[in-house]
Structure 1
Amino acid sequence: MALAGRMKRSVFLVHRWTGVLMCALMALWFASGMVMLFAGYPKLTPAERLANLPALRRDGCCIGPAAALAHARAPGAVQSLVLTSIRGRPFYVLVDGDGAVRAVDALDGAAAGPVGAVEALAGARVFVPGAAAHYAGTVMEDRWTHARAFDAHRPLHVVDMDDAAATRLYLSSATGQVLLDAPRAQRLWNFAGAWLHWLYMLRNQPSDPAWTWTVIVLSALGVVAAFTGILNGIWRWRFKGRYKNGRKSPFREAVLHWHHVLGLAFGLLLFGWILSGLMSMNPLGIFDARGRAPDAAAFAGGRPGQLRPDIGVAAALALLDADGFGAVELEWRVLGGQPYLLARDGGNGTRLVAPNAASTQAGQGTAFRVLRRWPDATLLQAARRLLPAAVEGHDVLHAYDAYYYKRQVQSMYGADDKRLPVLRVTYADEGRTWVHLDPFTGSVESGMDRSQRLGRWLFNFLHSWDLPAMLDAGWLREAVLVLLACGGLALSATATVLGARRLRMASKKAG
C-alpha cells in the first residue's frame, strides 16, 4: 500500500512539474494548430506554377536538348532536363549529377548568365502581370524558405508585388524561376500558425539538429505531462460515490476543478495529439525504412543525359497540338530504359510522347504517339527494378484509401498531385514494401515499408484525422477538429493558470 502511495505521489509530482514546463507551449500548439487547419504554410503548388507559364510554340522553338546538354558539366550525368519558360521566354533547366541547377536559353542556345535584380524583377512581373514590383534583396534562408528543395537555388531573390494580395515572391538565383509565392495575409496568419506551431523561430537552416532535438524533447515532455495527467485524473475521480464537497472531483477551487474535468474529457485527445506531434519528428529514426529503399534510378533505367527519344521539340509539340493538348512544359524522362517526353499543360494535366512500339517492330522506323497514361504492364515491368525482392502483388486503385490519398491545398502535403487511378505494387522484402506508381507521369509517387506505414497511423492519422472518409466530410471534419482543439486549449489554459500559481508560490518560498 505504501509503495502504491509513493508511486501515485511520484506520478503527481511528475505531472505537476512537466505541466508547469509545458502548459503554455501546449496552449500555443492548440491555438496555432487551429490556424493551420485553414491557413497553410506558403508553397507554390504545381498547378499554380504551371498556370503562369505560356504555351510552348513550335514555330521558331527550340534548340534541341543535345545543344542544351552541352552546357552541363557532364552531359551524360544530367538527372533532369526540362523545357519550360522563364520571364516568358523558353529555357531549358538542367539538374547536373551533383544537383547543381542551370538554365540554357532555348532560342539562342546561350547559357543563362547570373540572375540579378533586373532579371528577378522581370520574372516577378511576368508571374504577377500588371502589378508594380519592388526588389527586396536576397536571402539565403528565411522563415518561409527552410525547404531543402530550395538549396540548389540559394541565395533567393525576394520581390514584393503591389497586387491586391501584396504577394512576396522568391526567385532562384540560379535560373530566375519563381519558387515560392507568399501573399501578405498568408504570411501574417502563419506567424500565428505554422511558424509558431513548428517553433520555426528556433530553426536556422534546412537541416538543423538543434531545432530537431529541441522539438523532440519538448514534445516528449508534453507526452509525459499528458500521460501522468490522465493517470492522476482517473485516480482522483470518484466513479462511485462523491467527495465531501458533493462532487466527483475533490477540488473545490474553480480552476483546479475545471482542469480535472477538462483533463478527463480531453486528456486522451491531448495525449494523442502531442504523441503524434512527437512522431512527426521521427525520433531516433523509428520510422526509417528497415531494408533497402526503392531505387528510383533503377526504375528509370537511364538518365535523360544518356537516353532521349529521337524526336525534335517541334515534332513533339505538333503531336501534342494535334491531340488538343497545349503544353507549357516538356520533360525528358526514362521509364524502364525507355525514353519518353512528359508534357504538362497550364492546368497540370499531362500527356506522354513515347515511341510507337508497333511501328518500330514493323521496321518502319521510330514513330511516336501521344499517350494519356502508361499501360499497367509497362509500369509493372519497370517496378521489378525498384527492389531486389520479388513482386508479391499489384492492384489498381480507383479511389483513395488510408495509404494513398490527397490532402487539401493548405496541408503540408497540399502540393502532392496524388492522381487516380494509381498502380500499387507490393514486394516480398523484409519490410513488405508498397510503392504507388503514377501512370500519368511514370513517377514513383510514394513508397513505404511496414515501419513507415506504422508512422502513417502514429503521426498523420492521430495528428490530422486524415482518413479519406474524414477528409471527404469537409467542413464537418473541420468543425469537429476545432471543437476538440478548443477543449484541448481550455485544458492547457487552466494548466497555465495553475502553473503560474505554482511558480509564484515557489518564488515566494525561495525569496
Structure 2
Amino acid sequence: MSLRSTAKRWTYLTHRWLGIGGCLLMLLWFVSGMVMLFVGYPKLTPAERLAPLPALVDARGWQALSVLPEAVRQAPERVVLTTLRGEPAYVVRSGANVGAWSAHTGQALPPVSAQLAEVSAAQFAGGPAFVGAMPLDEDRWTHSRALDPHRPLYRVGVGGAQPGDVYVSSRTGEVVLDAPRLQQRWNYVGAWLHWLYFLRMQSEDPVWTWTVIVLSALCTVAAISGVVVGIWRWRFRGQYRSGSKTPYQEPWMRWHHLIGLMASAFVFTWIFSGLMSMNPLGVFSSSRASLDVARYQGVVPVDAGVIAQPAALLAAVHTPRFVPVEIQWRRIGGELFAVVLDGNADSRVVRERGGALQVSTAFGAEWLRGRVAAMSEARLRGFTILQAPDAYFYPRAAEAMNGAAVRRFPVAMADFDDAEATRVYVDLATGDPLLTLGKRERAGRWLFSFLHSWDLPAMLRQHSARLVVLLLLSLAGTALCATATVIGYRRLRMTLRHKRRHAHHARSQRVDTATSNSAIATPTKAAMRPK
C-alpha cells in the first residue's frame, strides 16, 4: 500500500472513530452555545452591585481613613466606603485578603453570621430573604477565582422581582454574586453544560482543565479530518453513477456530507476556538510581567487632610442628579484620590489642592500620561484617548462571558516599546488599568474571542443580524452533529452485531470440531466386538 493510500485510510478512520466518540459532545456544545447567546453564566456586574446600595448622605460622626489600623493603611490595593449590614463601613482589600471596619467606630466588624448574610441579601434583592443561609466554599455557580478572597460564601435564597440565590461574602458581608432561579435553570442547558462544569470540582481544577483541553483537541481533529474527507468525496468534475456529486445515497450519510461541506469551516473554527479558550499550556499568557502597577501607584501617601474625610467628600459631590452610594480611595503617582460612584455607576473624581477639594468627571489626559509612563521601564511610544471601541477594548452584553468587565469611554490607550509590545487601557473616570495585552494576549483575542464569538465592534453594532447569522450557523452545526450521532450509532450497532455474529460463528466451529474429534476418538460397538 502506498504512502498516499495509507494516509487516506488513516484520515478516514480518524474521522470515523473520533466522530463516533465526539459527535454527542459536539452536539451538546452547539445546543448549549445557542442558549448562551441569550442567557449567560451568573455574574454580578458593576451596575447590578451598585444599584441596590443605599445613598451615603448623612456622614456626621463617620471616622476618617486614619481610623483604620496602621498595618491596613500601609499598602492597600483598594479602600472602599460602602454600606454593609445596614451601616457604613470601610472595606479594605490587599491581595487575597479582604476585611471590613465600621465607619462609626473604626473597629473591625464581627464575623458575618447567617443572620447578617440574610440581611445583606434582602437589602440587595429588594425582597424577602429566606431563613437558612447556607455556608459553602464553592458550588456550580461560584467557580470564579475572583471570589476566592470572600470564601467561604453564604448562599441565601431570596424573593423579590428575580427570585433565586444570592451569595454573600463571609469576610465582609458584601453581596458578591446573584443567580436568579430562571437563569440557573437555563444554565443547566447553557454555560454549565457547555463548559462541562459537571466535571469541575473547584475553582482551580487541573483535572477538569486538561479533560476539556483533550476533548476539545480530539474534536478539533475530528472536525478537520471531516473537512478533508468531505472534499475528497465530492466530485468537483463530473458525477457519480447515481448522477450526484456525492457518493452517498443513504439519507443520513448524504445529509451529513452536504451539511458538512456547507458548515465545515464554521464547525472547525468554533471547536478550535473553544480549545483556544482554555489557553492550553499558557500559550496566550505573556512570558513575564511587563508592567509594574506599584510604580504607577507610587509611594503610599499620607491618608490625612480633607480628602480622607467622608463628610467633606459627600458634600463636595452631592447634587440632585448625583447621589453617592460608594467612595473608593486609590493612589496614583503617590497621590491620594477619591472616586465617588452613584447607583447608576456614574462617577466623580475628587482630589485635594491646597486644603480644598476639586471635583471632575475624569482624570486629565496629560496628567495621566506621565503616571502611566511609570508603569514600565520601557519607552512609552504611544498614548491615545479612545472615544469608541477598537478591536481589543469593547463592551459586551451582560450575558457574554466577559460581560461584567468595565469597558467605558473615553479610555486612555498606552503602548510601550518593550519585548511584548505591551498595551494597557486605563479608565479616565477612575484611573484603573482595565485591560493589559501583550503579543500573546492579542493572538488569543483573535484565535479565541473573534473565532468563537464574532465580537468585532462592527459586528456587535449589528446585534440582530449577528444573532441571526450565529443562530443559523449553530443550527447547521447542530444538524451536522445530529446526523453524525445517528451514523455513529448505526456504525456501532453494526460493529457490535458483526462481533457477536463472529463470536457465535467461532463458538459453533469449536463445537463442530469437538464433536468431530469425539466421533473419531470413540469406537463404534461393531468395532468393539471380538471377531
Please, what TM-score do these two structures have when normalized by structure 1? 0.94
Pairing partner for 1:458 from 447, 464, 476: 447
1-structure distance, mates of 2:479, 2:494 = 23
Which residue does the alignment assign to 1:505? 494
Which residue does the alignment assign to 1:362? none
Which residue does the alignment assign to 1:10? 10
Q: How does 1:208-219 map to 2 (within 5 A)?
A: 208-219=205-216
Equivalent position SS for 1:56: coil
Is 2:196 aligned against 1:199? yes
Pairing partner for 2:385 from 390, 396, 418: 396
Q: Structure 1 475/308 Cα, relative in aligned 2: closer, same or farther at 3 Å?
A: farther
Equivalent position SS for 2:68: helix
Is 2:372 aligned against 1:383? yes
Equivalent position SS for 1:133: coil
1-structure distance, mates of 2:334, 2:274 = 41
Equivalent position SS for 1:135: coil
Which residue does the alignment assign to 2:90? 92
Which residue does the alignment assign to 2:104? 107
Q: How does 1:125-274 map to 2 (within 5 A)?
A: 125-274=122-271
Equivalent position SS for 1:4: helix
1-structure distance, mates of 2:305, 2:296 = 17
2-structure distance, mates of 1:138, 1:262 = 49
Stretches of structure 1 that go unaligned for 5 or more consecutive residues are 357-364
Which residue does the alignment assign to 2:428? 439
One-letter amino acid of the counterpart of residue 10, structure 1: W
Confirm or deny: 8 A CA contact 1:308 1:333 kept in the other structure.
no
Superposition deviation, residue 165 in structure 1: 2.6
Confirm or deny: 8 A CA contact 1:124 1:133 kept in the other structure.
no
2-structure distance, mates of 1:440, 1:309 = 23
Which residue does the alignment assign to 1:361? none
Pairing partner for 1:276 from 273, 277, 281: 273
Which residue does the alignment assign to 2:329? 332
Superposition deviation, residue 46 in structure 1: 0.7
Which residue does the alignment assign to 1:48? 48
Superposition deviation, residue 34 in structure 1: 0.3
Q: Structure 1 75/422 Cα, relative in aligned 2: closer, same or farther at 3 Å?
A: closer
1:157-208: CA deviation from partner (whole Å, max 9, x where unpaired): 1111132432211101111111111111000000000000000001111111
Superposition deviation, residue 467 in structure 1: 0.5
Provide the alpha-carbon RMSD of the alignment.
Answer: 1.6
One-letter amino acid of the counterpart of residue 119, structure 1: L
Which residue does the alignment assign to 2:25? 25
Q: Structure 1 180/74 Cα, relative in aligned 2: closer, same or farther at 3 Å?
A: closer
One-letter amino acid of the counterpart of residue 447, structure 2: L
Superposition deviation, residue 509 in structure 1: 3.4
Q: Structure 1 291/139 Cα, relative in aligned 2: closer, same or farther at 3 Å?
A: closer
One-letter amino acid of the counterpart of residue 289, structure 2: R
2-structure distance, mates of 1:310, 1:9 = 78
1:212-251: CA deviation from partner (whole Å, max 9, x where unpaired): 1011000100110000000000010001111011111001
Equivalent position SS for 1:373: coil
Which residue does the alignment assign to 1:60? 60
Superposition deviation, residue 102 in structure 1: 1.1
Pairing partner for 1:470 from 459, 479, 485: 459
1:340-387: CA deviation from partner (whole Å, max 9, x where unpaired): 11111100011111123xxxxxxxx33220011111112111111111
One-letter amino acid of the counterpart of residue 99, structure 2: R
Which residue does the alignment assign to 1:117? 114
Q: Structure 1 261/303 Cα, relative in aligned 2: closer, same or farther at 3 Å?
A: farther
Equivalent position SS for 1:250: coil
One-letter amino acid of the counterpart of residue 75, structure 2: A
Confirm or deny: 8 A CA contact 1:84 1:92 kept in the other structure.
yes
Greater Cα shift, 193-202 or 287-296? 287-296
2-structure distance, mates of 1:308, 1:13 = 73
2-structure distance, mates of 1:504, 1:193 = 30
Q: Structure 1 61/4 Cα, relative in aligned 2: closer, same or farther at 3 Å?
A: farther
Which residue does the alignment assign to 1:343? 340
Superposition deviation, residue 60 in structure 1: 2.0
Greater Cα shift, 125-134 or 428-437? 125-134
1-structure distance, mates of 2:161, 2:362 = 39
Q: Structure 1 429/213 Cα, relative in aligned 2: closer, same or farther at 3 Å?
A: same
One-letter amino acid of the counterpart of residue 85, structure 1: T
Q: Structure 1 134/162 Cα, relative in aligned 2: closer, same or farther at 3 Å?
A: farther
One-letter amino acid of the counterpart of residue 274, structure 2: G
One-letter amino acid of the counterpart of residue 350, structure 1: S
Which residue does the alignment assign to 1:360? none
1:104-125: CA deviation from partner (whole Å, max 9, x where unpaired): 1112322111111110111122
2-structure distance, mates of 1:109, 1:393 = 44
Superposition deviation, residue 316 in structure 1: 1.0
Pairing partner for 2:468 from 449, 473, 479: 479
Confirm or deny: 8 A CA contact 1:331 1:341 kept in the other structure.
yes
Confirm or deny: 8 A CA contact 2:129 2:156 kept in the other structure.
no
Equivalent position SS for 1:141: coil
Is 2:80 aligned against 1:82? yes
Q: Structure 1 10/308 Cα, relative in aligned 2: closer, same or farther at 3 Å?
A: farther
2-structure distance, mates of 1:254, 1:163 = 52
Confirm or deny: 8 A CA contact 1:79 1:303 kept in the other structure.
no
Which residue does the alignment assign to 2:397? 408
One-letter amino acid of the counterpart of residue 120, structure 1: A
Equivalent position SS for 2:395: coil
Confirm or deny: 8 A CA contact 2:130 2:158 kept in the other structure.
yes
Greater Cα shift, 501-510 or 431-440? 501-510
Confirm or deny: 8 A CA contact 2:305 2:355 kept in the other structure.
no
Greater Cα shift, 187-196 or 337-346? 337-346
Superposition deviation, residue 6 in structure 1: 1.6
Superposition deviation, residue 75 in structure 1: 3.4
Equivalent position SS for 2:160: coil
One-letter amino acid of the counterpart of residue 80, structure 2: V
